[in-house]
Amino acid sequence: MWFKNLTVFRLTEAFTLTPDELEQKLEPLSFRPCGAHEEFTFGWTPPLGKSAQQLAHNSNGFIMLCGKKEERVLPSAVINELVQEKILEQEEIQARKLSKKERSEIKDEIIFDLLPKAFTFSRKIYAYIDPKGGWLIVDAASAKNAEDLLSMLRKSLGSLPATPLNTLEKPSAIMTEWLLNGTNPDDITIEDECELRSTEESGGIIRCKRHDLALPEIKNHLDIGKEVIKLAVSWAERISFIIDENLAVKRLRFLELIQDQVADIETDDDAAQFDVDFSIMSAELANFLPRLIELFGGENKA
């Protein structure tokens, strides 16, 4: 399976658990469906899917994990309508205005009554641990989802010293320099999408898609003080992505050079194909992450 987003955490201590030891620690927090009155549940599920058993899937020293979250769907508009009806009914009966606490209690009661009848939906968050490189890499489009998985992993392990990826140079400053003066390195190709933000507190944001970023109008925005906070680039003709001011990688795509490697390997089943994809992806990202850090001045370990 191929990650589409990268939220990267640096493991600040060596990760020494074997896959079997990690499996034992994940087991108590295995995924289970929502109970009748639970708004959500979050637990570990086999990365290979329902037919698999292992919660920690090892391939070439990289360990894949998968968190699954199931939530009950309660539309806020429905809740608010029922709450207002109940409040009005009680105020008429009691001939007085209800207090804030009483209104809150009514809302809690209605949610409690509705939960067992609500539909559920689930989503998975994949991640893998690179013990040799010292990384935890989460396929999450939002920082919150990545932090949710990290929190659950810490709960399973007791602790996990990990911090968001941090570099010595501000990514926005480096990306702005690339666009303003054309100083992007030879292995970085600037593509056709960016987001610019004024440095003023109430400044505006300019979003460009399918746009030639070398045109003078882009430089004009940079000349008056806007900075690049998102930029679409490709690296060494191997991967393309959008990098943002927090070093989050979005809309990651593995290009033809990588896909050709996959196509050259014949597999017999879905599990074998999963291993091929995971092995090639993790090896590629193990080469890419040090370069990503180098692009922005090196890693800030302070």
Phi-psi region of 139 (alpha: psi -120 to 50; beta: other; left: phi over 0): beta
pLDDT, one tens digit per residue, over 25-50 is 999 999 999 999 999 999 999 999 88
**Where does residue 177 rank: exposed (0-12), middle (13-18), buried (19+ CB within 10 A)?**
middle
The stretch 151-173 carries a mean pLDDT of 97
pTM of the model: 0.91
pLDDT, one tens digit per residue, over 43-80 is 999 999 888 899 999 999 999 999 999 999 999 999 99
Predicted confidence (pLDDT) at residue 199 exceeds the cutoff of 90 = no
Residue pair 291/71 in contact by the 8 Å Cβ criterion: no
In this prediction, residue 265 carries a pLDDT of: 94
pLDDT, one tens digit per residue, over 89-113 is 999 999 999 999 999 999 999 999 9
Residue pair 188/178 in contact by the 8 Å Cβ criterion: yes
Question: Which stretches within 119-200 are classed as H helix?
Answer: 143-157, 171-181
H or E element that contains 87: helix 76-94
Predicted confidence (pLDDT) at residue 1 exceeds the cutoff of 90 = no
The dihedral through the CA atoms of 243, 228, 183, 191 has a sign that is positive
